[in-house]
Amino acid sequence: MRLVISGQEYYCDNKELTAAQIMGKVLEISQSDNLVLSHMRIDGVNVYSNVESYLEEHFSTIECAEAVFVTVPELLHDIFDTTSEYLDRAIPELQELSEECYKAPNTGTWNKIGQLLEAIQWFQQTAIFVEEHRESIPDSFIHEKTFDFTNETSMLQEAVEQQDFILLGDIIQFEILTKFQEIAHQLQKMTSVEVDRHDLN
């Protein structure tokens, strides 16, 4: 197997090396170079998730595995772009979702609430990443607390457990929607500053 990491090539015997050892080497280099693993390109296939499992499953036949890295600022930029695109869709949908809760939720409503909880979980993970890489974020427009939905999640869970649909609608409209709008505003402000700096240069 030919293993490519940060431009360096390593030739490994598939019988003597394990998937865990390869991932260990990749993570070791990413940390020393202050990079983040984006994905692995394995025999031409881009693998973004469950990389180690994919390696294990195809280990005996892999000819070339290449680690593709991004810098922390690049990854943060991608995260913020993805977040902005999501918020553009989600903000109008949240208003509709709160109205559905007031009228009495149906199966479709519960599915949307499940999707909302997944999105909030992603925001929580983003908050952790932002906190860990605070020095890579321009100025102080985005703070990890911006993405922290701990209180809102607790309120949502309580409303769901109590089957209190009015409270559920209120939380979505006055707590979560407001926070989504705040995040969108902060991201827009940060993007505007980046554009202005680019114009000055």
Q: What is the pLDDT of residue 44?
A: 96
pTM flag (> 0.85): no
Alpha carbon 6 to its chain's center: 23
DSSP state letter for 176: I
| The residue type at 7 | G
pLDDT, residue 76, reads 86
Cα(101)–Cα(159) distance, integer angstroms: 11
**Confidence grade of residue 196 (pLDDT, cut at 50, 70, 90):** very low
pLDDT in tens, 70-105: 998 899 889 889 999 999 999 999 999 999 999 978
Please compute, for residue 199, the number of CA atoms within 13 A of its CA located in the half-sphere on the CB side.
6
48-74 pLDDT, tens digit each: 999 999 999 999 999 999 999 999 889
pLDDT category of residue 108 using cuts at 50, 70 and 90: very high
Nearest to 151, CA basis, from 171, 173, 128, 177: 171
Mean pLDDT of 149-154: 92
For the segment 3-14, the average pLDDT, to the nearest whole number, is 89
- Mean pLDDT throughout 170-185? 95
